[in-house]
């Protein structure tokens, strides 16, 4: 394989026709307080992702998009709207329903120096391609002693939507976050979506980019700086969405919005909550988290994924290792119920963290409510 890969230096102008020929084999006859600097306009997360793709594909001919229904249908969630018309079928490739097939083709293209953006219609379908993501993309740089870079982005909606059952409601932040060689990003706002996706496409290593279906239509203020074509956000750096002094709340993706709502409710009861938008799961911004905990002396972690071996568990361990002496209360961990996602709407709501769960946890951490153990 190395003999083939060494040819990539002279193959930067590789025609996408090679990719299309490979695909053809598979084809049968998708603040409260926010520091948005001088926000001048609103933009949906959908439009933010779309604009990031347009700009990066315009700036670099090696960037291309592939996935189910990304071309003619313009994406299952219309993230790729207008891209086929603008860039043509050589750079916006509709694939058959074979995640293992097109993920593998994407990794091979990245070996040759192209920059594929592989869309999964939902990250639940990435299970069909996990061998290529983990064993081919994530490990090649290490196993080749740095000779092979794999500049590929795997993106799509992640986590619970609404009424789509157990197989389509999983959060993969902890799954992929445990794998060395991957970078795992979880945007919340439109600024996050633009800045992080552009950074992911430019990164020389494989990036898992976990979006949220429920946020696509949400509008957020966006600054002129974030609208600049050169705007990127640093991978591995969290953002303090709201400053506070009594309790730290960490969250990512859709849960950031819930945490901000909880912080607003808590403020009316005299509790000042600091909300951290993680943005990056791997690498994790341990420095920002620990600095906040050393200030507030309390921590609540929030995620919609499963609790065991979750992102919150890793954050808890980081704080115990680095800031245990600063804690004035036990850490509170809010996560999804430890069950497959129920289909019934009433049970589904119970299985996913709600704003009131965060409020109660913060109150417990601040000794404003009777603990669950004491009430038992």
Task: Please give the C-alpha separations between residue 30 and each of 79, 114, 315, in angstroms, as whole numbers.
Answer: 9, 21, 34
**Crossing angle (nearest 10°) for helices 17-24 and 99-111:** 150
Instruction: Supply the mean pLDDT for the chain.
Output: 90
CA 181 to chain centroid: 16
168 is catalytic: yes
Q: What is the structure's pLDDT at 164?
A: 87
**Are 249 and 259 spatial neighbours (Cβ–Cβ below 8 Å)?**
yes
- For 207, phi then psi, to 5°, come to -125, 130
**Are 194 and 226 spatial neighbours (Cβ–Cβ below 8 Å)?**
yes
User: Is pLDDT above 50 for 33?
Assistant: no
Torsion sign across C-alpha atoms 84, 85, 90, 95: positive
pLDDT band at 35 (very low <50, low <70, confident <90, very high): very low
Q: What is the structure's pLDDT at 103?
A: 97
309 is catalytic: no
User: Is pLDDT above 70 for 104?
Assistant: yes
Question: Which long-range contacts does 70-75 make (Cβ < 8 Å, 24+ apart)?
Answer: 70/30, 70/94, 70/95, 70/119, 73/30, 75/30, 75/119
Using DSSP's 3-state secondary structure scheme, residue 138 falls into helix
Q: Shortest CA distance to 131 belongs to which of 107, 114, 158, 167?
A: 107
Lowest mean pLDDT segment, chosen from 43-57, 158-172, 186-200, 287-301: 158-172
Catalytic residue among 56, 99, 211, 274: 99
**Are 364 and 332 spatial neighbours (Cβ–Cβ below 8 Å)?**
yes
Catalytic residue among 168, 243, 264, 322: 168
Segment 366-371 mean pLDDT: 71
> What is the C-alpha radius of gyration for the chain, rounded to an integer number of angstroms?
21
Using DSSP's 3-state secondary structure scheme, residue 223 falls into strand
pLDDT in tens, 140-186: 999 999 999 999 999 999 998 888 888 889 999 999 999 999 999 99
Tokens for 99? 């995640």
pLDDT in tens, 207-252: 999 999 999 999 999 999 999 999 999 999 999 999 999 999 999 9
Listed in sequence order, the residues at least 6 apart from 331 whose beta carbon sits closer than 8 Å to its beta carbon are 299, 300, 301, 316, 319, 320, 365
Percent of the chain with pLDDT over 90: 84
Confidence (pTM) = 0.88
């Amino acid at each position: 394989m190395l003999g083939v890969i060494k040819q990539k230096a002279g193959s930067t102008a590789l025609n996408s026709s090679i990719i299309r020929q490979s695909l053809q084999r598979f084809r049968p006859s998708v603040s409260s307080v926010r520091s948005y600097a001088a926000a001048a306009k609103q933009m949906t997360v959908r439009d933010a992702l779309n604009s990031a793709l347009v700009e990066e594909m315009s700036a670099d001919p090696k960037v291309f998009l592939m996935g189910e229904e990304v071309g003619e249908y313009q994406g299952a969630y219309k993230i790729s709207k207008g891209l086929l018309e603008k860039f043509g079928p050589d750079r916006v490739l509709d694939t058959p329903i074979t995640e293992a097939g097109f993920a593998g083709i994407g990794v091979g293209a990245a070996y040759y120096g192209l920059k594929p953006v592989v869309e999964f219609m939902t990250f639940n379908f990435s299970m069909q391609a996990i061998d290529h993501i983990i064993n081919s993309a994530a490990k090649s740089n290490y196993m080749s002693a740095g000779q092979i870079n794999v500049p590929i982005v795997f993106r799509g909606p992640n986590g619970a939507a609404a009424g789509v059952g157990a197989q389509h409601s999983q959060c993969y932040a902890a799954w992929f976050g445990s794998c060395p060689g991957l970078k795992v990003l979880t945007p919340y706002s439109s600024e996050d979506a633009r800045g992080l996706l552009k950074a992911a496409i430019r990164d020389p290593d494989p990036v898992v980019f976990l979006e949220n279906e429920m946020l696509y239509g949400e509008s957020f203020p966006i600054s002129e700086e974030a609208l600049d074509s050169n705007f990127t956000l640093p991978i591995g750096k969290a953002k303090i969405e709201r400053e506070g002094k009594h309790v730290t709340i960490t969250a990512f993706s859709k849960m950031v919005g819930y945490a901000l709502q909880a912080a607003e409710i808590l403020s009316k009861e005299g509790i000042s909550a600091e909300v951290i938008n993680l943005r990056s799961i791997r690498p994790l911004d341990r420095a920002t988290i620990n600095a906040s905990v050393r200030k507030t002396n309390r921590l609540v972690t929030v995620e919609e994924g499963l609790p065991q071996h979750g992102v919150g568990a890793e954050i808890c361990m980081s704080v115990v290792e680095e800031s245990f002496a600063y804690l004035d209360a036990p850490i509170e961990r809010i996560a999804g119920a430890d069950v497959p996602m129920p289909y019934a709407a009433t049970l589904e709501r119970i299985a996913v963290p709600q704003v009131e769960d965060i409020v109660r946890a913060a109150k417990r951490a601040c000794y404003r409510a009777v603990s669950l153990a004491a009430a038992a």
